[in-house]
A and B are shown apart, each in its own frame.
Chain A
Amino acid sequence: GNSVTQMEGPVTLSEEAFLTINCTYTATGYPSLFWYVQYPGEGLQLLLKATKADDKGSNKGFEATYRKETTSFHLEKGSVQVSDSAVYFCALSGVGTSGSRLTFGEGTQLTVNP
């Protein structure tokens, strides 16, 4: 079955540091890949997505590239801010009739200190 493995947290960085959160997946076919973010007290929000190999999703300075050869979708940001402190979830959606079902990673807590 499908699975997603994320880098274990928590991750603590200073403001303006470079961020990488690793995500690898196992799936049949060509799933779509997502990063969701959950700010304290709020619901998950879609941060970015990529639907095919070599696609790069980007939003709010975050980027992730769909790498089929390494089955990875690592999240990166060149310069984090305190407001980026949140929990980040990597997820994939299956193909075909399971296309609407999301499989999530464990989540990675990010804390950015001023």
Chain B
Amino acid sequence: GAVVSQHPSWVICKSGTSVKIECRSLDFQATTMFWYRQFPKQSLMLMATSNEGSKATYEQGVEKDKFLINHASLTLSTLTVTSAHPEDSSFYICSARDASLSGGSPLRGQYFGPGTRLTVT
């Protein structure tokens, strides 16, 4: 089946630094990728929708200047947490939509990465 990878799987950084998280579709092309964050014992919250070659669409309340998203190719989207603070510590999950299976329901062919645990000290 389709595989989505994330790198790194976990990262610890100091407050004020920036961290980049990569999301890759390994065996399919993804015109659309989604970024979620999850706090302990809470649901996944959609942060933004990333479209290849265009600007990301951010959900209400998500700071686009703090969470920079770049979807430069059909297999890679990156999320950069800028000037990270302890309250940014969370589990970040991406999903990628298989461009070849996007006919019909827009939810067809959406695959999730394993997530990245970010801890800001």
Which A residues have a C-beta under 8 Å from some C-beta of B?
4, 32, 34, 36, 38, 41-46, 49, 51, 89, 93, 99-107
Contacts and interface: CB of A to CB of B under 8 A. Distances in A.
Interface string B103-121: 0011100111111000000
Contacts of B36: 104
Contacts of A103: 43, 46
Nearest to A4: B43
A104 B114 contact: no
A27 B36 CA distance: 20
**Main secondary structure on A side of the interface with B:** strand
Contacts of A46: 110
B93 A44 contact: yes
Q: What's the interface size class on B, roughly?
A: 20 to 34
Nearest to A93: B107
Contacts, number: 55
**Main secondary structure on B side of the interface with A:** strand
A89 B43 contact: yes
Given A32-B105, A43-B115, 16 more contacts: A34-B107, A36-B112, A38-B112, A42-B114, A43-B4, A43-B114, A44-B112, A46-B110, A51-B105, A89-B44, A93-B106, A99-B107, A101-B49, A102-B107, A103-B46, A106-B42
Nearest to B45: A104
B31 to A, nearest CB: 12
